[in-house]
Amino acid sequence: MVAEDLISKTTDEPRKFYYTATDKGLSMLNDWLLEPITEHNEDLTSLKIYFIADQNSDILNVYFKI
In DSSP terms, 19 is beta-bridged to 9
Residue 16: inside a domain: no
Q: What is the per-residue pLDDT across 15-65, written as a single tens digit (0 to 9) for each?
A: 888 999 999 999 999 899 888 888 888 888 888 888 887 888 888 877 777
State residue 48's pLDDT score: 86
* Alpha-carbon 41 to chain mean position: 16
Residue 2: inside a domain: no
Residue 36: inside a domain: yes
Look at the chain and report how many structural domains it folds into: 1
- Residue 9 makes CB contacts below 8 A (sequence gap 6+) with 2, 17, 18, 19
Other beta carbons within 10 Å of 1: 12
Residue 29: inside a domain: yes
Residue 17: inside a domain: no
Residue 51: inside a domain: yes
* pLDDT of 9 strictly over 80: yes
Residue 7: inside a domain: no
State residue 66's pLDDT score: 54
Its domain, for residue 32, covers 23-64
Residue 6: inside a domain: no
Band of the pLDDT at 11, cuts 50, 70, 90? Answer: confident
